[in-house]
Structure 1
Amino acid sequence: MTTMFVRHTVSDYKTWRKVYDDFAPVQKAKGVTAEAVYRAVENPNDITVTHEFATIEAAQAFAESAELKNAMQNAGVAGAPTIWFTNKA
């Protein structure tokens, strides 16, 4: 199992959350098996999201997808996100 972490700042959490929730069918279609959203205590617009995948290849394909990039842009993500991948040890 591979987990993809994404951290980014958004201009408005409510706007971002609506786009994120509406994106769930695409996540599932692209191999996301579980997800979670976290907000920084000191800045509620500082978001970290995790997505789980069966393989690293699926995770990387999702991270590079035009659909994800468009959703982030539409959701008000400010700047480039930080993305990294892990495998459960």
Structure 2
Amino acid sequence: MITLHIEHEITDFGTWKQAFERFAGMRRDGGVVSQRVYRPLDDNRYVIIHLDFAAADEARKFLDFLTTRVWASPADAPALAGTPRTRFLEAAAEG
């Protein structure tokens, strides 16, 4: 399992969440097998997203889609503030 870790500032969670939900089908078709959205307790203008994939190539392709299609368009990412930070993660241990 490979996790695409994404974190970024937002201007409004409700607006961000609506935009995120519009891409549910794209996530499914792009190979996302599970997802989690986190919000720091001390910062309501920030989100952390974990998208899980079966393979690293699917995660890389989906990041390319996010970068070129979603984040590049203010209409598709209306509450995005700043540049998202990403990282690919692989579980090293489970408890």
Report the AA paired with residue 78 of structure 2: A
SS in 2 for 1:33: strand
Structure 2 counterpart SS, 1:80:
strand
Equivalence for 2:70: 68
- Structure 1: stretches of 5+ with no match in the other structure: none
Q: 1:85 to 1:25 in 2, by over 3 A?
A: same
Structure with higher helix content: 1
- Give aligned pairs, total: 89
> Matched residues in 2 for 1:67 and 1:86: separation?
23
Are 1:34 and 1:52, in contact at CA under 8 Å, matched by a contact in 2?
A: yes
TM-score (norm 1): 0.90
**TM-score of the aligned structures, taking structure 2 as reference length:** 0.85
When the two chains are superposed, the root-mean-square deviation of aligned CA atoms in Å is 1.6
C-alpha distance in 1 between matches for 2:73 and 2:4: 17
CA separation in 2, counterparts of 1:68 and 1:34? Answer: 19
Determine the C-alpha separation between the residues in 2 that align with 1:78 and 1:69: 10
Instruction: Indicate the percent of aligned positions where both proteins have the same amino acid.
Output: 25
Q: Larger C-alpha radius of gyration, 1 or 2?
A: 2
Contact 1:20–1:75 at 8 Å: present in 2 too?
no
AA aligned to 1:35 is Q
- 2:59 and 2:29 map into 1 onto residues whose CA distance is 12
